Amino acid sequence: MSEPGKTRRSRRSRQETEADLLAAARRLLDRDGVLAGINLREVAAEAGVNHGQIYQYFGTRQALLRAAASDLVERRVAEGDGHWELPFSERRQAMFHYRVEEPEVVRLETLLALDGDEDFSPLPRFEQTRKSLERDVRSGALPADADTVAAHVATAAAQMGYAIFREAYARDTGIPLAELDHRVSEAYGRMVSGLTTPSSREPGTKAERTEPDPPGGRPTGT
């Protein structure tokens, strides 16, 4: 009998073949881990596809990984993901749970980032996100003086960081993973809520943005 994932089927459409290749890439990544990377010939063999087709459809390993990550995100959108309509705090909490519950996306994005892929986008659909952030300020979900982009990036980084290390954190702390997920979710919610509180600055003033001194001290001119 053929091994799972290695049955060669005839007359597959391009859409079916691409779907099989994306699924095979995710299986190999789950089996071998991020540091093992992805070999296109191995992916083709796992999917039961001629290796020439994978080069024809994707061209590079990075393109394959980007497609696999995008496919998972698009599936979530197709299932009715309406998180963009939620207020800031609820939206970020929803994304926290998505990252924890979808480790495949996290692994793929991590590998692309470590690979130095310049075409990798950690903030897909950012223009839609920007509109949600503008709405948050108008509605009062974020204070008028909020640096909305920085708030979004910082909370996204916290989500990814925990999702990447959560199993190792559970081992080191001795806390069962499900319990740790719950406790960190509560702490994350408190952190995000802090961003929705207006600062103590006078109304109408902007936060001072400090830059590190260049080598040799501050410049004498402008």
Angle, vertex CA 70, rays to CA 67 and CA 99, nearest 5:
130
* pLDDT of 49 higher than 50: yes
Segment 22-31, tens digit of pLDDT? 888 888 877 8
How many CA atoms does the CB half-sphere of 185 hold within 13 Å?
A: 16
Q: Please check whether residue 44 is in contact with residue 50, taking contact to mean a CB–CB distance below 8 angstroms.
A: yes
User: How far apart, in Å, are the Cα atoms of 159 and each of 17, 75, 163?
Assistant: 33, 20, 6
The whole-number pLDDT of residue 68 equals: 80
Q: Tell me how far CA of residue 70 lies from CA of 1, 81, 124, in angstroms.
A: 33, 14, 9
- How high is the pLDDT of residue 213? 47
Tokens read off for 29: 């990544």
In the chain, where the domains are located: 82-195
End-to-end CA distance of the chain: 74
User: pLDDT class for 64, splitting at 50, 70, 90?
Assistant: confident
pLDDT, position 35: 59
Q: How many CB atoms lie within 10 A of CB 149?
A: 13
For position 33, what pLDDT does the model report?
A: 67
Q: How confident is the model at residue 97 (pLDDT cuts 50, 70, 90)?
A: very high
What is the rounded distance in angstroms from the CA atom of residue 100 to the CA atom of residue 112? 18
For residues 117-145, give the mean pLDDT: 90
Question: Which amino acid, residue 182?
Answer: H
Task: Please name the residue ranges forming H helices in the chain.
Answer: 14-32, 40-47, 51-57, 61-78, 88-101, 103-114, 126-139, 148-173, 177-195
Distant-in-sequence, close-in-space partners of 102: CB < 8 Å, separation ≥ 6 = 72, 76
Question: pLDDT tens, 145-192?
Answer: 999 999 999 999 999 999 999 999 999 999 999 999 999 999 999 999
Most confident of 68-77, 82-91, 127-136, 200-209: 127-136
Q: What is the mean pLDDT of the chain?
A: 80
The C-alpha angle with vertex 3 and arms to 22 and 74, in degrees rounded to 5, equals 15
Q: What is the pLDDT of residue 91?
A: 92
pLDDT at position 37 = 67
User: Comparing 54 with 217, which gets the higher pLDDT?
Assistant: 54
- The predicted-structure confidence for 66-91, as pLDDT tens digits, reads as follows 888 777 777 766 665 567 789 999 99
Q: Is the pLDDT of residue 59 over 70?
A: yes
Q: Which residues, other chains included, contact 115 with Cβ-Cβ below 8 Å and sequence gap of 6+?
A: 61, 62, 65
